[in-house]
Structure formats: structure tokens, C-alpha cells
Amino acid sequence: MNTGADSSHLCLVLGGARSGKSKLAFMLAGQVVPKAFVATGEAGDEEMAARIRKHQEDRDPAWETREIPIDVSGWLKTHGAAYKTIIVDCLTLWLSNLLSSGIQASQIPVYTDELMQAARMVPGTVVLVSNEMGMGIVPGDAMTRQFRDVAGIMNQRVAAAADAVYVSVSGLPVKLK
């Protein structure tokens, strides 16, 4: 698959923690250059810093890494046309960053739709990675339940707009759309 995202312009890859979703995103993105990796995660603690370092070490150096914790839409609008392939990893951390910055949960659909509009403007392939959080146990506190619910709504909106949707389960890809 070296044409990018299964010949789809906009692709969503879902999965749980350590499910292989990032690996699948790289496979779908293919070898088309120039290519950008938009990282939304921030190293808030040593464990997260170690995760980020591991991802950086594992990434092919041909990927230009951009760390964009919040304004992914703005970056795509401004810089997206310069790349044939873009991976945004991950939307769940982007959501967390938005909420932590003071954006209200009720505004997330607006930000999600803006992201999808910006991704559609990119002439190349955009692969979005997100966590599927709705298949686990019901969280024990209201804040975590709300986050899970908002993430689920975000993922539904992204999936509806995407040309292709995959879920990675135990490293095995399943095409949903």
C-alpha cells in the first residue's frame, strides 16, 4: 500500500491502548513523500515523555514531525498542502488538550467539524488516529465518563466524514468503511 490510505483521501484508524493503531496508520500512509507526522501528545510526566521518545525512535526519519497539541486545524490549513501524506496521532490526546485548555465539552463537535473541514482541504492523504474508548468498563467517576462520551461523539463525527475507517484489535486491522 504505497499510494496512501488504501487510496482514500481521509482515513480514520481506531483502536484501544497498544492495539497497533499507530502501526496500522503508518502502513496505510505508505511511502509517499513528503510526509508529516502531527503529534498531539505532550510530555506531562516522565512516562509520557518515554512514550513519545519511543515513538520518535521507531518513526522513519523521512517523516517530518510537527508537535501540534491544540491547533491541528490551523496547521492543516496553513501547511497541509505541502505534504502528500499526513498522520495525526492522536485525536484523543487532542481532545484532552482542548478540554484542558478550557474548551467546553459542548464545543467539541464544532472543533471536530473544523478539523474535518481542514483535513478535507489537504490535497494529499490524511490518516487520523484515535482511541476507541467505548468498549471498556463504565468509568467510575463522572469526569471520566464525560470524557469517554465526548470522545465517542468525536469519533462518530470523524468516522462519518472519513472515506475509510479501520479498527485495530490486537494488531489486526479490520476495515469498517
Q: Residue 2 — very low, low, confident or very high, per pLDDT cuts 50/70/90?
A: very low
CATH number at residue 152: 3.40.50.300
Residue 1 has pLDDT above 70, yes or no: no
> 55 an active-site residue?
yes
Nearest-angstrom CA–CA distance, 23 and 29? 10
Range of the domain at 131: 5-175
- Angstrom CA distances, 98 to 56, 77, 95, 102, 111, stand at 23, 18, 5, 7, 9
pLDDT tens for each residue of 148-167? 999 999 999 999 999 999 99
Residue 155 CB neighbours (<10 A)? 23
Which range, of 70-84, 105-119, 126-140, averages the lowest pLDDT?
126-140
Q: Which of 55, 66, 79, 148 is catalytic?
A: 55
**Count of domains forming the chain:** 1
